[in-house]
Chains A and B, each alone.
Chain A
Amino acid sequence: MLDIFRYPFMVNALIVGILIAVCCALLGVVLVLKRYSMIGDGLSHVGFGALSIAAVLNISSPLYLSLPVVTLAAFFLLRITENSRINADAAIAVISSSALAIGVFVASINGTNINLQQYMFGSILSVGKSDIIISVILSVFVIAMYLLFYNKIFAVTFDEDFAKATGLRTGFYNTVISLLTAITIVVGMRMLGTLLISAMIIFPSLTSMRVCKRFISVVITSVLVSVFCVVSGLLTSFTVTDVPVGATIVIFNLAVFLVFLLISAIKNAAAKKNK
């Protein structure tokens, strides 16, 4: 088991994986509870399109293009979701499939050696120095934000109208959340792949909400679940060759979700019996 520490790429992947797992879980709680889960999905597809274009243009680090593009998309999607006159679900679906199509199209016409497979399903080998630096900075921001503004994040998530009416700057919190989500997705999708990064955002909070009934316990449990799944997924895909990391991590998430579902069913049954 300790073998893995002899492979620098594996150590990098573990560091970035754990940090991204923490960010995904923390942001995911807010996104899921605000019914913004689809935004994560849309952003990952936009990120895929941006990565393909960056590769074709031969930009030295694809992050330079995908980070600003996904951030812009995040602001745009948030606006759409807030505007009740537009059918947000449909709009996000249109944007995400268009971005995916553009990505595939660009990658194919040029005949470049872009590895579509790698973008879709992720790869540990793609984790480099810059990813480590960005994910450390990112997770420090996300964690600091949670520590400083925990209660305000709760208030804005629970009841945005009340928060706004009583003087909380809801626009500011929404902007910060979407900015951090954009960065998390761009960094995380290189390792986990376009198709699976949104699962990392949605699964942990859904899982913990099966059992936890208070906001603080949902937040903490989500982080624990998320980190556990990423570490187990990485170790599994390292030991079992040829298994993509992203898929393994999502399968672990699914397994934990089912276990929590079972626990809550047992709890409910027990509560009924006691009555």
Chain B
Amino acid sequence: MALLKATDLKIGYSNNVVFENLNFTVNAGDYLCVVGENGSGKTTLIKGILGLLQPYNGQVEYSDGLSRNHIGYLSQQQKLSKDFPASVSEIVMSGFLNNRIIAFNYTKQERNEAMRIMQRTGVDSFRKKSFSELSGGQQQRVLLARALCAAKKLILLDEPTSALDPLATAEFYSVVKALNKEGMAVIMVSHDITSAVRNASHILHLSSDSYFFGTTHEYMHSSFGSRLLISDCPCDACAHNTKRGGREDA
């Protein structure tokens, strides 16, 4: 079943069209990686999907009972104010609010769930600290934990590992993978193309004048994918690729 369907999407800023005629579908349980060079429109697309930016043309349809309340989101740019008085757990728990009408307090179940997520994202050791006193990577982990609290059916992550250390990055990928196995659809923007093809079921590659959308397998054999994936492609189908072992042309 399609959760999300983009048809003839055209999005941009006042007089600058970032892309047009974009079509793709995300089904329940899909893991879509959005790749492409800087400025190709990945963040713009995520904002379009979330309704933070109105498309000029075309539409993004939510179906199969998906609504905003089921979505978790981690943005690329944090324009949060530096001195905001908030503890880490206050921020993480605020991810639960999308399913509440009246919200003065959190339920026991939500507290336990938050605790579990904070442990998995390595946030629990500083959960009583003030958000503004954390390092950039710690802050990113906190916002990841919040996104995980909010996600029920779909999670959108815009370069979630950009500030994480290698260990936290690996742990993060495994958390997302596990969630995905439990049926959560994932849309992740990433520049880490190797782990993108290792984990994702589908790839959307944006570039200045065209785009690619298809399964990871199709991608690796496309003109988009094979250019970038000459070296360690983990897939058997790519054994025929004789140019193995070098990416000096990249």
Contacts and interface: CB of A to CB of B under 8 A. Distances in A.
Given A149-B102, A166-B68, A166-B73, A154 B86 contact: yes
Given A35-B81, A161-B75, A213-B87, A166 B103 contact: no
Contacts of B68: 165-167
A218 B132 CA distance: 15
Given A154-B90, A155-B97, A215-B90, A164 B85 contact: no
Contacts of B150: 162, 166
Interface size class of B (residues with CB under 8 A): 35 or more
B167 interface: no
A150 B85 CA distance: 15
Interface residues of A, number: 29
A147 B103 CA distance: 8
B104 A162 contact: no
A216 B87 CA distance: 10
A167 B71 contact: yes
Given A151-B97, A214-B130, A215-B90, A164 B103 contact: no
Contacts of A76: none
Contacts of B237: none
Contacts of A151: 93-94, 97, 100, 103-106
A164 B104 contact: no
Interface of A: 33, 35, 85, 147-152, 154-155, 158-159, 161-168, 209, 212-218
17 contacts: A33-B81, A33-B84, A35-B81, A147-B104, A150-B104, A151-B93, A151-B106, A152-B97, A166-B68, A166-B73, A166-B97, A166-B150, A167-B69, A213-B87, A213-B132, A213-B133, A216-B90
Interface of B: 14, 50-52, 67-73, 75, 80-81, 83-87, 90-91, 93-95, 97-98, 100, 102-106, 130, 132-133, 146, 150, 156
